[in-house]
Amino acid sequence: MDRDLLTHLPVIVAVARRGGFALAAAELGMSPSAVSHAVRLVEERIGQPLFARTTRSVSLTEAGKALVETAAPALQDIAERMDRLRGIKGRPSGLLRINASNIAIPLAVTPVVAAMAERYPDVTVEVFAEQGLVDIVGEGFDAGIRLGEMIAQDMITVRLTPPFKAVVVASPAYIGKHGRPRDVADLANHNCISYRLVRSGGLYRWDLHEDGKDIVVEARGTVIVTDSLAAIDLALAGVGLAYVFEPLVQADLAAGRLARILPKTAIEEPGLFLYFPRRASMAPKLRAFIDTAQEIGRASMRTPSRVA
């Protein structure tokens, strides 16, 4: 067994996962030159190139793909077993990587991470905020957080929030100047803050309900954003109408800084869920996150979670 080769396998997997030497170096806390040296050493021992390099991209060769497909699951299994061994002593530890939608950060992540910092100081939670869905297993995340309707059926899920509504809001200043839309069709005559879907490049369409029917609205206006919090700031500034999840603007609505527009057209979303592959359900660091999240949200939980 080539022990030197084994020590460099995590570097190979990180470069493949992140798609570049610099990003892998940042993740591993190494210099790019050290990452390059590790890759070169493994390639020399194997006798084949593992990556096809250009000035703009790094991609796996056939040999590299075969190595990563073998090494990545084995390294993940070792890491999980080590975490379980540490957990036997009652001290969850290690790096917990979570991929969450932007809206999940204030609604479901911040309070849990704050509590975990006090309870589990040996656990480091890395939160990667991203709008679209990702392959959490393939990209090396322990868990993801998304709306329930977006999660694959083969994942274990844990409810983090109750269901909530998606609402249209505007500031009193905007309403005073432009008035309120009379109905869904009248939204076309108002300045609507649009969302750009980062991964697809398309514009997000607003889902509303009117006269017993679900309606999809192609909202248009003078500004396009990629984040709900930006839309809220613009709505507060009187720029236009924003389509947001109600918990994000609850305080602004209560204080009168924003008002609901066409409230009867609001649809209900299933809420936010933590999700992860079945084999990861017993990792102590993930279990610590789940227990903390359930304790914080127990009073508002309305449906049971399914956890293996």
Average pLDDT of the residues in 169-180: 97
Judging by DSSP bridges, how do beta strands 259-261 and 164-170 pair with one another?
antiparallel
H-state helical runs in the chain: 3-18, 21-28, 32-46, 62-88, 104, 110-119, 172-178, 228-236, 250-255, 284-297
What six digits make up the tokens of 101? 């939608």
The phi, psi pair for 41, rounded to 5°, reads -65, -45
Return the residue matching tokens 């009168």. 256
Residue closest to 244 by CA, chosen among 134, 254, 144, 233: 233
The pLDDT score that the predictor gives to residue 86 is: 60
**pLDDT tens-place string over residues 228-272:** 999 999 999 999 999 999 999 999 999 999 999 999 999 999 999
What six digits make up the tokens of 51? 């990556």
The pLDDT score that the predictor gives to residue 214 is: 92
Mean residue pLDDT of the chain comes to: 86
DSSP helix/strand/coil, 92? coil
Average pLDDT of the residues in 188-211: 90
Average pLDDT of the residues in 279-290: 80
Distance of CA 265 to the CA centre of its chain: 27
Q: Which residues pair with 242 in a beta bridge?
A: 169
The pLDDT score that the predictor gives to residue 85 is: 66
| C-alpha span between 133 and 151 (Å, rounded) | 9
DSSP helix/strand/coil, 225? strand
Average pLDDT of the residues in 29-35: 88
The pLDDT score that the predictor gives to residue 59 is: 86
What six digits make up the tokens of 91? 């001290």
Return the residue matching tokens 């005073």. 176
For 227-274, give the secondary structure using H, E and C: CHHHHHHHHHCCCCEEEEEHHHHHHHHHHCCCEEECHHHCEEECCEEE
Residue closest to 144 by CA, chosen among 95, 96, 97, 99: 99
**pLDDT tens-place string over residues 48-80:** 899 988 777 788 998 888 888 888 888 777 776
pLDDT at 190 over 80: yes
**pLDDT tens-place string over residues 129-168:** 887 778 888 788 889 999 987 787 788 899 999 999 999 9
